[in-house]
Structure 1
Amino acid sequence: MDDNSFDYIIAGAGSAGCILAEQLSRDPSIRVLLLEAGGSDRSPWVSLPLGYGKLHTDPNRTWQFLTEPDAGLAGRRIKWPRGRLIGGSGSINAMVYCRGLPSDFDDWAASGAKGWDWHSVKPWFEALETQVSADNTRSGSGPLHVQDVCDQIHPVNRHFFDGLKEIGLPVTGNMNGDDPEGGGIYRINTKDGMRCSSARAYLGTAKKRANLTILTRAHVRRVVIRDGLANGIELTDGRQFTARAEVILAAGAIGSPQILQLSGIGPGEILRDLGLPVLTDNPNVGGNLQDHVGVSYTFEANEPTLNGTLATLPGKAGAAWAYLWNRKGPLSLSVNQCGGFVRSCPKLNRADQQLYFNPVSYRVIAEGSRTKVMIDRFPGFLICAQPTRPTSRGRIDIAGADPAQAPLIRPNSLSTEEDRRAVVAGGRLCQSIMNTQALKRLAKAPAGPDLMSLNDDALLADFRERATTVFHPVSTCRMGVDPESSVTDNRLKVHGVDRLRVIDASAFPNITSGNTNAPTMMLALKGASMVLEDRKRVLS
């Protein structure tokens, strides 16, 4: 057999690609090639849950993307780091495991993605997961461990829950359960105190299979398409690989539309201007960009917070000892310990804000072209309300024919009145929580803009000046039934090209209410089953 010939070629070894590679290579008769532009995920900073603070600014492990000036955010250019290593952004993220609200997926189905409603996707979430309680009781048998850390969170978080109860907001014991609305403790995908990404959960065993080839430092130039069929992949170093069955793009919300456009699939006018052939003129490739945007309000505290642990040498030594001793303590957790999905107004039919309450405060310091996170020396905490379902739509388009050239990212944030109202509603919600007796007892003074003094106009103006991405870009190759408004069909096949799919967060019809890593992995698992079903149909 030709060493450069495979049944399936997967471009991108991120949260989706690792699951796809494992699922497709289970059959020893299927030969799979997994390509990753970055390097290995073998690093203590990847394994250590709190290590992601360093990974975000590491150009060796992240693509240091920068948006175009965003008018909705005061004309600022915002950094969009994305994973550049095995595991993708799932190897550098904060590990908050949130499925999203059930209604998010009913929205998917209503938009044309038949078979992606909540009833249909819930079993795929369950197939991913092993739920691990605080006492180590387990349910489910999926490779991905979802850890309940309620016994480890910082005691200062009690004030947050007391504040929610004061103003009549619900509290939930499981944001991934049957009743996810309310404040709660975020569950995280860790195992034995270490990151449990899809790379660790799925690819860890699959990489030993003889029928799976994994190439790192393999940057894709284009999909090779002949007579309307995806025949393989060409890399930037000139190597070509043939796909006998399918090419699957899993390069993420930035990488997948970039590869499609470089391959001649995208907005015809843009491609022609760059001297690229137009094989399929589809302006939806790179369009429909959605992301969560948020701003944090920081306060000095009247009692100790994680600052005392993470900003001092004795505190760091104690945290390191706790971690080495039993894989517990602050280093085994996400900095995002508490939050939840709540309604800013009781009249709303579902939660419109995602909250974060972190028992730590910090500053992001620019050092040349890089940034550094500095924990405040005083006791501090932060609160953030992030609108859950933005209606603004942006674009990602290639800037040239060179794959090494970063694409143009235009988020178009806060371009709708609905989104601007949601920002103000989120700010008002934070004010209500901070105005409770519980939070008044905790807060000593504002450590940044004085949230409590801001009126509606000032809340919006402050958001424009300080808000940033929450690292959830999706929908740039959105699925749907109509080729006029989508890139793939509801089986993730690219319109107009045979044997080509996109299976990653770019295929989301709409953004989910919360963190997007869990639904990305669900989509990959369900998408892999579709690939295998279609293979069986062809061979039968």
Structure 2
Amino acid sequence: MSTADRITDTARSVYAKGRDTAGRLRDRTTLAEVPDRVDVVVVGGGSAGCVMANRLSEDPGTSVLVLEAGRSDIKADPFIHMPAALPFPIGSRFYDWKYESEPEPHMNGRRVYHARGKVLGGSSSINGMIFQRGNPRDYERWGADPGMGDWDYAHCLPYFKRMETCLAGADTWRGGDGPLVMERGPATGPLFQAFFEAAEQAGYPRTPDVNGYRQEGFGPFDRNVYRGRRLSAARAYLHPVLHRPNLHVRTLAMTTRVLFEGTRAVGVEYTVAGRRHTVRAGEVILSGGAINTPQLLQLSGVGDPDLLRPLGIDVVSGLRGVGENLQDHLEVYIQHAATEPVSIAPGLEWRNRPKLAAEWLFLRRGLGATNHFEGGGFVRSNEDVDYPNLMFHFLPIAIRYDGTSPVEGHGYQVHIGPMYSDARGWLRIRSTDPKMKPAMRFNYLSTEQDKREWIEAVRVTRDIMGQDALAKYNGGEISPGPEVETDEQILEWVRNDAETALHPSCTARMGTDEKSVLDPGSMRVHGTEGLRVVDASAMPYVTNGNIYAPVVMLAEKAADLVKGEQPLPASDAPWYDHRAGSPLDAPTTA
């Protein structure tokens, strides 16, 4: 019996006992034998790659290999699986690729740090676990582009439903038997309730479900947390099917080039521990994300000839759109001191962390079992926009992602930023060395719309935070502080203090025009055969919210396209449109 067969038999035994593979089989993906020929090779074991691996390997006659450059997400690692530990992986070379932008010309020349998951599950193993689909109008915008009609809301909603088990209840808009199980944040603490009341006092509605009929408004958020543990794409889609004999997963394997014969992709080259390997494949699917995928395309000869030829790269397909159209969300924290002991700060102090860890480890509850981003909302910053362009995440503590706090004692904060900026950036390789990180510039704050909406975002937030419902807790704004008041002062603060919300996307977009990269009906790379892209880079426009859920939806839909299966029937579910009027007074249950 081969090593691969022994591993597979062991995996089946473990699953038969109802146990997870990662704890017992921590070397299952690190030491796995890799075949030299498969039907499909998926480059990247992140959010989209895990979905593709699951769905394509459902056919036992299709052999699938996943190559992930990061390490395995072993079950015993609390920095991945404890929801409250989410600040620890970011910035760590063991979990994070640690990208930086080029000096941003409209951000006072700052380089903006970009965390990306360097582990099985990709960024879904290190993100904030906030599950947001975006607004139906996001997908109407997708579907309005030439050739993109099958990517409108009616065609995307069935795939959102297929992928999820919404514990708050399945209905016309929400799924009930998908791999992604999600809890709704309780958001019941005094600060959350005061924040929701303050939003109402400022004139904004409540909504029972930002992922349902009506996104606009405030309320508890869904999150990818189940039974007190992070439920990443790897945990939801990949680990439950590792026993399939036709599915192979290899971590610590960095793909360096797509292999072509003419314009047909026939496999990939990758390295493990410095040794070069190749695998032949009938189909190559790139799922490395909005940074790694365009980088690999360019390294492989797919991209702008004016970039590739000076580097000595033979051009396979001269697509000038590869690496262009880079989009993201920028955010700031507006932080307040609290006058009463109502925040979660004491529970996160070092002296209390052993208790927090023990409660989570043995009981899967307490402050360790939540991501703390339990609620927020979406609003329109002015009457000219058709649907919400601002996103709020409320946090019952004043703290930055790196764990630093500007206040002694109690505080609270709102994460805020515009959702569909018209700023566009780019990504380009610097050399033929795959280990050299690409250059990328996002061009934040480069447009008049972007600057106007940032001023509106801060003013809308201050209006909410200054309402009577929060007055008894309000110990004063500490960031940016009352001295930041004029439009120019607000913009200067944003230039100096804003961080990425970690939603890079759109660098190999679907479409039919000359700057598009992918065929919307097949996900194939224009000008090539046997090569597809399925990840955030395929999005034509960034969606209104965190992008993990849209990426999983995109991969679910793409899996049917790759398999040649009949797409799910389009939905006729209504959705809230404040201009057209509400077709429903309240959401109805199917």
When normalised by structure 2's length, the TM-score is 0.85
Does 2:194 correspond to 1:144? no
CA change 1:335–1:423 in 2 (3 A) is same
Counterpart secondary structure, 1:184: strand
CA change 1:173–1:412 in 2 (3 A) is same
Specify the alignment match of 1:179 in structure 2.
214
Give the counterpart letter for 2:193 in structure 1.
R
Counterpart secondary structure, 2:325: coil
Does 2:151 correspond to 1:116? yes
Specify the alignment match of 2:9 in structure 1.
none
Structure 2 CA distance, aligned partners of 1:476 and 1:139?
A: 30
Structure 1 CA distance, aligned partners of 2:482 and 2:203?
A: 21
Match of residue 498, structure 1, among 529, 532, 557: 529
Structure 2 CA distance, aligned partners of 1:157 and 1:488?
A: 43
1:310·1:375 contact (CA, 8 Å) conserved in 2? Answer: no
Does 2:117 correspond to 1:86? no
Q: Unaligned regions of 5+ residues in structure 1, if any?
A: 365-370
Specify the alignment match of 2:49 in structure 1.
17
Structure 2 CA distance, aligned partners of 1:219 and 1:308?
A: 42
Specify the alignment match of 2:17 in structure 1.
none
Structure 2 CA distance, aligned partners of 1:80 and 1:386?
A: 16
Per the TM alignment, residue 153 of structure 1 is displaced from its structure 2 partner at its CA by 4.5
CA change 1:347–1:281 in 2 (3 A) is closer
Match of residue 44, structure 1, among 78, 81, 89: 78
Aligned-pair identity (%): 37
Matches for 1:459-538 after TM superposition, within 5 Å: 459-482=490-513, 484-490=514-520, 491-533=522-564
Does 2:386 correspond to 1:349? yes
Counterpart secondary structure, 2:150: coil
Give the counterpart letter for 1:80 in structure 2.
H
Per the TM alignment, residue 63 of structure 1 is displaced from its structure 2 partner at its CA by 0.2
2:293·2:537 contact (CA, 8 Å) conserved in 1? Answer: yes
Structure 2 CA distance, aligned partners of 1:394 and 1:458?
A: 25
Structure 2 CA distance, aligned partners of 1:372 and 1:17?
A: 30
Structure 2 CA distance, aligned partners of 1:452 and 1:342?
A: 26
Does 2:210 correspond to 1:170? no
Structure 2 CA distance, aligned partners of 1:418 and 1:228?
A: 41
Counterpart secondary structure, 1:447: strand
Matches for 1:216-295 after TM superposition, within 5 Å: 216-236=251-271, 237-244=275-282, 246-295=283-332
Structure 2 CA distance, aligned partners of 1:139 and 1:516?
A: 18
Per the TM alignment, residue 22 of structure 1 is displaced from its structure 2 partner at its CA by 0.7
Give the counterpart letter for 2:112 in structure 1.
I
- Matched length: 522
CA deviation digits over 1:111-143, x for unaligned, max 9?
A: 232311000000101001001139xxx961001
Give the counterpart letter for 1:485 in structure 2.
K
Structure 2 CA distance, aligned partners of 1:68 and 1:359?
A: 33
Structure 2 CA distance, aligned partners of 1:343 and 1:507?
A: 27
Does 2:77 correspond to 1:54? no
When normalised by structure 1's length, the TM-score is 0.93
Specify the alignment match of 2:139 in structure 1.
105
Structure 1 CA distance, aligned partners of 2:251 and 2:194?
A: 46
Specify the alignment match of 2:346 in structure 1.
308
Structure 2 CA distance, aligned partners of 1:535 and 1:400?
A: 42
Per the TM alignment, residue 522 of structure 1 is displaced from its structure 2 partner at its CA by 0.6
1:186·1:337 contact (CA, 8 Å) conserved in 2? Answer: yes
Does 2:250 correspond to 1:215? yes
CA deviation digits over 1:162-202, x for unaligned, max 9?
A: 11111110111111111121111111011111011110011
Specify the alignment match of 1:35 in structure 2.
67
Per the TM alignment, residue 337 of structure 1 is displaced from its structure 2 partner at its CA by 2.2
Give the counterpart letter for 2:290 in structure 1.
A
Give the counterpart letter for 1:210 in structure 2.
P
CA deviation digits over 1:56-82, x for unaligned, max 9?
A: 121011101111100121110111010
CA change 1:405–1:462 in 2 (3 A) is same
Per the TM alignment, residue 359 of structure 1 is displaced from its structure 2 partner at its CA by 0.6
CA change 1:475–1:451 in 2 (3 A) is farther
2:333·2:479 contact (CA, 8 Å) conserved in 1? Answer: no
